[in-house]
């Protein structure tokens, strides 16, 4: 029993060293009330099991909270989005140059880009700052995961020792159950062997038998509680072993990624600086080029529009003034829809009438079969012999 408490104290001690155990007392777990019903089987062992299980919820909650590290994943996504925005804006510039035009929409896009995402240099600085934050937090999380993994191994040791204690309690519960069954069997034989007309004596024997039956029922309930406890502790220990193996794999992969990230940034920071300068210069060149192209294209288009707009506007006015109104295709489509609906409604009505008749017949048949079964059950119950106490 002492080994179980030792493993539990080791696990909780490691969490306390990290400041992860709250100072407020742990609320009693619901299973403690259930264990109180089998305490008299072996009070010392049941108390040790109860203490381990009472701390399980707190321990598991702390572990789940610490290994989640959801913020790291979000910030890595921020870095990805920042790089994507730089590349996307550069591609947009190329697309604007290819068609030789700078439309109003493209001008709006360029202004919106600078307003919402900032210039290229500032975005590269944000990438660097985010990376440094993630690297520091990543190192802290890896260290915490190693510590918690070790603490969880100690806690699993406490679970295993509790399983051993539970199996010992189960043996005692089984022995008490078998003993109670033996006493009940003896009491039943005494009642069956009674002879004579002394009903008072027979009633006393029957009372003794009923008391033994009640004792068997109580011992069977305690046996089932003990069995459930032993079985579920075994399941918990073996299942958590697989889960913790996966956690170790995740932590190992995270540590490898962290090491690679540190190496990459340490050797390629100059590349990021060069990229920042190059993209910034490229955007400036793009803006100057497009400004010149917009001025030339604007003057040319204005001259062309002045020559063409008068004829096009007059032509459209003549078409609108002398052209047809309602199209024949629209009227024909409405007529076809009305006719098709009338035809389909006849088919649906016929189908639904047949289905309704079939459904009513199936319900009648199901109800009749149920009545016949009920009648047979009633007949069989009436034929059973009456038993007297």
pLDDT of residue 389: 45
196: left (phi over 0), alpha (psi -120 to 50) or beta: left
Please report, for the chain, the start and end positions of each structural domain, with discontinuous segments joined by +: 2-176+229-302, 326-380
pLDDT of residue 306: 61
Q: Could you count the other beta carbons within 10 Å of the beta carbon of residue 53? A: 23
Q: Look up residue 325 and give its DSSP letter.
A: S
CB neighbour list of residue 150: distance below 8 Å, 6 or more residues apart? 14
pLDDT per residue rounded down to tens, the chain (389 residues): 455 567 777 777 777 777 776 666 556 778 878 888 888 888 888 888 888 887 777 777 776 666 665 555 566 677 777 777 766 666 666 565 555 555 666 666 556 565 556 566 666 777 777 777 777 777 777 777 777 777 777 777 888 888 888 899 999 999 999 999 999 899 999 988 888 788 888 899 989 989 999 999 999 998 999 999 889 888 888 877 776 777 677 778 777 877 777 777 677 666 666 665 666 565 566 666 665 566 666 667 666 766 676 566 667 766 766 766 667 787 788 778 778 877 887 788 888 878 888 888 888 888 788 777 877 776 676 565 555 44
Say how far apart CA 388 and CA 379 lie, in whole Å: 21
Sign of the four-CA dihedral 238, 243, 247, 253: positive
Q: Cα 53–54–58 angle (5° rounding)? A: 100
pLDDT of residue 113: 60
pLDDT of residue 151: 73
pLDDT of residue 167: 92
């Amino acid at each position: 029993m002492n080994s179980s408490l030792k493993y539990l104290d080791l696990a909780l001690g490691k969490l306390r060293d990290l400041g992860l155990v709250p100072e407020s007392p742990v609320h009693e777990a619901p299973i403690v009330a259930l264990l109180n019903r089998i305490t008299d089987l072996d009070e010392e062992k049941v108390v040790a099991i109860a203490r381990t299980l009472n701390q399980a919820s707190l321990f598991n909650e702390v572990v789940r909270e610490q290994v989640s590290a959801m913020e790291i994943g979000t910030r890595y996504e921020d870095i990805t989005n920042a790089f994507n925005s730089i590349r996307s804006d550069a591609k947009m510039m190329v697309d604007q140059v290819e068609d030789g035009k700078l439309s109003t929409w493209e001008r709006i896009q360029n202004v919106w880009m600078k307003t919402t995402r900032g210039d290229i240099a500032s975005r590269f600085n944000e990438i660097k700052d985010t990376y440094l934050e993630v690297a520091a937090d990543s190192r802290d999380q890896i260290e915490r995961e190693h510590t918690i993994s070790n603490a969880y191994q100690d806690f699993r040791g406490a679970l295993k020792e509790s399983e051993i204690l539970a199996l010992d309690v189960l043996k005692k519960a089984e022995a008490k159950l078998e003993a109670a069954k033996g006493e009940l069997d003896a009491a039943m034989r005494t009642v069956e062997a009674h002879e004579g007309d002394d009903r008072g004596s027979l009633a006393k024997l029957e009372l003794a038998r009923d008391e033994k039956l009640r004792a068997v029922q109580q011992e069977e309930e305690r046996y089932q509680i003990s069995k459930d406890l032993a079985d579920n502790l075994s399941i918990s220990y073996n299942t958590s072993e697989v889960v913790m193996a996966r956690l170790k794999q995740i932590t190992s992969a995270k540590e490898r990624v962290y090491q690679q990230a540190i190496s990459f940034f340490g050797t390629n920071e100059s590349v990021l600086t060069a990229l920042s300068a190059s993209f910034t210069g490229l955007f400036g060149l793009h803006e100057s080029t497009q400004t010149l192209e917009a001025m030339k294209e604007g003057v040319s288009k204005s001259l062309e529009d002045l020559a063409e707009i008068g004829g096009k506007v007059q032509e459209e006015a003549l078409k609108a003034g002398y052209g047809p109104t309602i199209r024949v295709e629209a009227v024909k489509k409405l007529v076809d829809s009305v006719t098709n609906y009338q035809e389909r409604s006849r088919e649906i009505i016929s189908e639904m009438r047949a289905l309704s008749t079939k459904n009513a017949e199936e319900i009648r048949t199901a109800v009749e079969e149920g009545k016949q079964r009920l009648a047979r059950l009633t007949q069989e119950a009436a034929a059973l012999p009456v038993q007297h106490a």
